[in-house]
């Protein structure tokens, strides 16, 4: 009987344990590395946008030049009456 009461007491004692939170572990070097990575990604994106804008500008200039050549060619090609 004593053994049963002791077993029940130990069993109930296990359920009364209150869990406590641990301290937060922070890795400053990892945070700095993530910030540097974000800055590098934004710089890369900015450079890509500038490159795309420059390509669009070159395309528009080339198209205007081609259209001008095409119009001159059509004038020369037209039959003289």
Alpha carbon distance 49, 37 (integer Å)? 18
Q: What does the pLDDT look like over 1-13, one tens digit per residue?
A: 888 888 888 877 7
Q: What does the pLDDT look like over 44-75, one tens digit per residue?
A: 999 999 999 999 999 999 999 988 888 876 66
Alpha carbon distance 37, 30 (integer Å)? 10
0.85 surpassed by pTM? no
Region of 21 on the Ramachandran plot (φ > 0 left; ψ -120 to 50 alpha; else beta)? beta
């Amino acid at each position: 009987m004593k053994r049963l009461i002791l077993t029940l007491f130990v069993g109930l004692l296990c359920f009364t344990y209150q869990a406590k939170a641990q301290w937060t572990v922070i890795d400053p070097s990892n945070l700095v590395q993530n910030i540097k990575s974000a800055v590098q990604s934004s710089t890369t994106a900015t450079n890509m946008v500038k490159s795309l804008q420059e390509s669009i500008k070159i395309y528009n200039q080339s198209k205007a030049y081609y259209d001008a050549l095409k119009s001159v060619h059509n004038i020369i090609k037209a039959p003289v009456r």
